[in-house]
Amino acid sequence: MIEDKNTSRTQISELGEFGLIDHLTKNFKIKQKTTNLGIGDDAAVLDFESKKCVLTTDLLIEGVHFDLSYVPLKHLGYKAVVVNLSDVYAMNATATQITVSIAISNRFPLEALEELYAGIETAAKIYNIDVVGGDTTSSTTGLIISVTAVGYANEEDLVYRSGAKDNDLLVVTGDLGAAYMGLQVLEREKQVFEVNPNSQPDLDQYTYLIERQLKPEARKDIPELLKALEVKPTSMIDISDGLSSEVIHLCKRSKVGVNLYEDKIPLDPSVISICEEFKLSSTTIALNGGEDYELLFTIAQEDFPKIKANPNLTVIGHITDEKSGIGLVTRANEKIELKAQGWNPIKA
């Protein structure tokens, strides 16, 4: 799939390490005034003056976090950036810089890395961040990518996982479960393709699901929206491993319980129909699917009027005391204990 786009193959060894870094990073432009110095020295120099700096990192391993048989490298580069920015926005902060480190085997020609960096560059442009450094090394087998994201916030604007209070409302952005079902569709097509390499998949009806899997977006808009609405969440987390496990993280860190209402969980119509096709419960998928990169947060009851008209935000439950437990209130109005089944490669 990847080789189709770019037919020539230039060996990395033809450029050498420094030639490669220069080649891949030559288009990166500095846009942020907090970047004093970007790529090219021993370290980047950033200046946040009186702001607090936030820093977060992620590691993606071929065969564990992504499968290059159906993930185009350009999408992989884009996604590697976006998943990190999502963690910055989950602190209610502004993302400003990233570093990108890669380990590559000689299986990858220069053209493959150009694709990867085209995705990184697109994300940097869309999210208005600077690529200020990284590291390049070799790997004996697969591809490894690590992105570190940096951002800033006023101290009083930072939102932690630990601030949820009894009676707060639990709010989620966007809709859930689509990225996981996109992965199921891609896995199914991969199997069909292995049996019959001439098959031409018709994936039109799955566009939204596949896009959510291959080209997720981070909710840069939400810290901005909340500021405009004059709402400061009491706690916040991004949804990378599935709603269930993130709700549990928030509750444990805040020492509270929750009632989460099954019938309030926002689902796209395409998720409902694909779950019927795969004979899966859409609630289970929304709770455990993961990779949605939506934000989950709590607000004080008195802030409800400020958010209630916004179609991006859905109230899905309310915080209780710790003793009441972490519960899912089902459509049949039964309360069951919420369990984390989040996507966890270490458990698998």
**DSSP character string of 262-298:** GGGS---HHHHHHHHHHT--HHHHHHH------EEEE
Q: From the CB of 135, what's the least distance to Mg ion, in Å?
A: 4
Kind of pairing, strands 235-238 and 313-320? unpaired
Q: From the CB of 17, what's the least distance to Mg ion, in Å?
A: 9
What are the beta bridge partners of residue 291?
A: none
Site for ligand ADP in 44-63 (CB under 6 A): none
Q: From the CB of 346, what's the least distance to ligand ADP, in Å?
A: 26
Does residue 16 bind ligand ADP (CB under 6 A)? no
Does residue 146 bind ligand ADP (CB under 6 A)? no
Kind of pairing, strands 257-261 and 326-329? parallel
Of 71, 73, 102, 218, the one binding ligand ADP by CB under 6 A: 102
Residue numbers at the binding site for Mg ion (CB under 5 A): 135
State both tokens at 306.
Answer: 């400020």
The CA R_g of the chain, rounded to the nearest whole Å, is 21
Do residues 258 and 315 lie in contact, with contact meaning Cβ atoms separated by under 8 Å?
no
Q: From the CB of 53, what's the least distance to ligand ADP, in Å?
A: 18
Residue 340: partners with Cβ closer than 8 Å, 6 or more residues away: 241, 242, 244, 245, 248
- Per partner kind, with CB cut-offs from 5 to 8 A, the member of ligand ADP, Mg ion, none near residue 102 is ligand ADP
> Site mask, ligand ADP, residues 27-46, x = CB under 6 A?
------------xxxx----
Does residue 136 bind ligand ADP (CB under 6 A)? yes
Q: From the CB of 325, what's the least distance to ligand ADP, in Å?
A: 46
Does residue 134 bind ligand ADP (CB under 6 A)? yes
- Per partner kind, with CB cut-offs from 5 to 8 A, the member of Mg ion, ligand ADP, none near residue 100 is ligand ADP
- Per partner kind, with CB cut-offs from 5 to 8 A, the member of Mg ion, ligand ADP, none near residue 40 is ligand ADP
Does residue 133 bind ligand ADP (CB under 6 A)? yes
Of 3, 14, 47, 135, the one binding ligand ADP by CB under 6 A: 135
Site for ligand ADP in 151-180 (CB under 6 A): none
Does residue 100 bind ligand ADP (CB under 6 A)? yes
Q: What element of type H or E holds 72?
A: none
State both tokens at 78.
Answer: 């884009």
Q: What element of type H or E holds 170?
A: strand 169-173
Distance between alpha carbon 117 and the CA centroid of its chain, in Å? Answer: 18
| Residue number with CB closer to ligand ADP (130 or 175) | 130
Residue 214's closest CA among 77, 81, 116, 75? 75
| Residue number with CB closer to ligand ADP (42 or 202) | 42
CA count, 13 A, side-chain hemisphere, 29: 5
Does residue 110 bind ligand ADP (CB under 6 A)? no
Longest dimension (CA), the chain: 65
| Residue number with CB closer to ligand ADP (76 or 287) | 76
165 three-class SS = coil
Does residue 84 bind ligand ADP (CB under 6 A)? no
Do residues 285 and 178 lie in contact, with contact meaning Cβ atoms separated by under 8 Å?
no
Does residue 77 bind ligand ADP (CB under 6 A)? no
Q: Name the residues that contact ligand ADP, by CB under 6 A.
A: 21, 25, 39-42, 100-102, 131, 133-136
